[in-house]
Amino acid sequence: MQVQDAFGSGGLSRRELICRGAALGVAGIAGRAWGQTFLNPRNLSPVVLSEKELSIDMVAMPRPVQILPGQPTNCWSYMGNLVKGGVGQLQPVQGSYLGPIIRARSGQQFTVRMGNQLGEDHITHWHGLDVPDDADGHPRFAYASGESRSYTFPILNRAGTYWYHPHPDMRTGPQVYQGLAGFFIVEDPEEQALPLPRGAFDVPLCIQDATFDTANQLVYTPDMMNGFFGSTVLVNGRPNFTLSAATRVYRLRLLNGCQSRALKLQFSDGTPMIVIGTDGGLVDQPRNYPYVILSPGERVELWVDLSQKTLGSLITLRSLAFTGGGTGQGAAFDVFRISIDRQRTETLQLPSNLSSITRYRLQDAVNAANPRSFPITMLMNPMAWLLNGGAFQMTTVAANEVVPADTLEVWRFTNPGGMMATLHPIHTHGRQFQILDRTISPAQQTNWQTVRDGYVDIGWKDTFMMMPGETVRILVRHSTYRGLFLYHCHNLVHEDMGMMRNFRIV
Ligand code: C2O
Ligand code: CU
Ligand code: CU
């Protein structure tokens, strides 16, 4: 059966596996009360960030969650308890399979002990954060169920919306799909000094898609070529998500947590899509987009001004149609609604300057004349997407994948056009980068026009979408952390198939 194949392990059905995992989970955490503190309503008190250290105990484990009416869904969840840190640094997402929101401050020392009670190997990655190679969640560090692993690193990143999710070889897609993902929000004094919406008006929203069977269980039927496209949209783990809002300004932090589906986002009533942040935090100045492209792994922060809306009105954030992204991509659908149900007087005004970002210059890259070139290619028989001419092998690094630490380089990615062509969200671990430019092959112009105005290529990025026929150059100053890191397609089906490569910082 499909479900069993997709989730099977050692001949157990997915349900048996989950039950066995649950039993292990209970045995493994005897005497602990995971998530006990999560029974309280969402803690909206101001985050106290005076602590130098943030230390949490977490576990990835099976958990039944009420998603649809009727039977609960057997999900997998990150659960956590604060060991050391300020009030509000670990916030549950009520009624969701999503892991707690981790709120850290730049400069803090972060430590997490992560238990694995999944019944299969696991490793967690801190997407977007600049961390030492042994804390980055590389698949070579995957560990067995029943064991745990500690990660410790200083938060070097600036304020921004980062996230965490599993990264075991060939199992990232299924583990994320079962519910393992969470926000990792970093704050810093520069960002805190700005008049931006806070507390209940600063809302992280994770967008995903899933398919349920008649017993409300998750069905995962990935297609190697294009990926997985669910039939139900989930926002923070809920179907038909409606954000109850007041007539004021909101900061929405959107994360595309889908396996494969790229989004083309726009408000139904013409509310401007004002981008204030990207993957790596605030942009220099707010910028208005006709719509915003958000491919799997990417984040965008919006300034959403509801102050002039009519009480009682509903606004829909929808994903618009686009063409040429490959089978499964580009369908139009509603993502979530905002219900304006409270009157408030707004005093916040959109700041004209948000942060200062020094643009890298191509001529300052050590390889300006000779960019590292990483083509995407497709292998037939067996069908596979390749990056830099190869598929992932645990510790293999090609000669052109060895890069100098703390050095500015230009990297060039190309996505071929052609019959089977599909879009790919490309992600690199380590440092945030800047997008230098994009070019499109003449043959793919028409499709490209259906997405190009929504590319948010400003600010700091760690993931970007590439349409068929597109070439993208990025400028990246590599981390000072040496070792083995990953770059890959963030279509998780492609990633699990091997559309992922190591690079070594020396
Ligand atoms: Cu969010 Cu290596 O991935
Ligand atoms: Cu990552
Ligand atoms: Cu891909």
Tokens of residue 281, six digits: 């935090």
List the residue whose alpha carbon is closest to atom 3 of ligand 1. Answer: 127
- Give the pLDDT band of residue 157 (cuts 50, 70, 90): very high
Q: Please tell me the number of the ligand nearest to residue 128's CA.
A: 2
For residue 206, give the nearest of 77, 85, 335 by alpha carbon. 335
Q: What is the mean pLDDT of residues 463-486?
A: 98
| DSSP per residue, 353-378 | -----PPP-GGGSTTTTS-EEEEEEE
Distance 76 CA to ligand 2 centre (A): 20
Distance 186 CA to ligand 3 centre (A): 28
Distance 95 CA to ligand 3 centre (A): 32
Q: pTM for the whole thing?
A: 0.91
| DSSP per residue, 158-194 | PSEEEEEEE--TTTHHHHHHTT--EEEEEE-HHHHTS
Q: Is 127 in the pocket of ligand 1 (CB under 6 A)?
A: yes
Interior/surface letters 485-503, b for 16+ CB within 10 angstroms, e for the rest: bbbbbbbbbbbbbbbbbbb
Q: Is 125 in the pocket of ligand 1 (CB under 6 A)?
A: yes
Q: Do 209 and 229 meet the contact criterion of CB atoms below 8 Å apart?
A: yes
List the residue whose alpha carbon is closest to atom 1 of ligand 1. Answer: 127
According to the model, what pLDDT value does residue 18 have?
Answer: 26
Q: What is the pLDDT of residues 297-355, one digit of tens each?
A: 999 999 999 999 999 999 999 999 999 999 999 999 999 999 999 999 988 999 999 99
**254, 257, 262, 264: CA torsion to nearest 10:** -20
Q: What is the mean pLDDT of residues 95-124?
A: 97
**110, 115, 118, 124: CA torsion to nearest 10:** 20
For residue 473, give the nearest of 308, 316, 361 by alpha carbon. 361
Alpha-carbon span 404 to 477, nearest angstrom = 9
Q: What is the mean pLDDT of residues 121-126?
A: 98
Alpha-carbon span 61 to 55, nearest angstrom = 19
Q: Is 488 in the pocket of ligand 1 (CB under 6 A)?
A: yes
Distance 215 CA to ligand 2 centre (A): 33
Q: Is 167 in the pocket of ligand 1 (CB under 6 A)?
A: yes
Tokens of residue 308, six digits: 């002039």
Alpha-carbon span 177 to 180, nearest angstrom = 7
Q: Please tell me the number of the ligand nearest to residue 173's CA.
A: 1
Q: Is 473 in the pocket of ligand 1 (CB under 6 A)?
A: no
Q: Please tell me the number of the ligand nearest to residue 224's CA.
A: 3
Q: What is the mean pLDDT of residues 273-291?
A: 98
Q: Which long-range contacts (CB under 8 A, 24 or more apart) does 3-9 make?
A: 3/213, 3/217, 3/219, 3/220, 6/174, 6/220, 6/221, 6/222, 7/174, 7/178, 7/220, 9/119, 9/120
By mean pLDDT, which of 18-32, 39-53, 76-90, 278-292 is the weakest? Answer: 18-32
According to the model, what pLDDT value does residue 50 have?
Answer: 56
Q: Is 299 in the pocket of ligand 1 (CB under 6 A)?
A: no
Cβ contacts of 398 within 8 Å, gap of 6 or more: 388, 389, 390, 501
According to the model, what pLDDT value does residue 172 have?
Answer: 98
- Give the pLDDT band of residue 420 (cuts 50, 70, 90): confident
Q: Do 21 and 62 meet the contact criterion of CB atoms below 8 Å apart?
A: yes
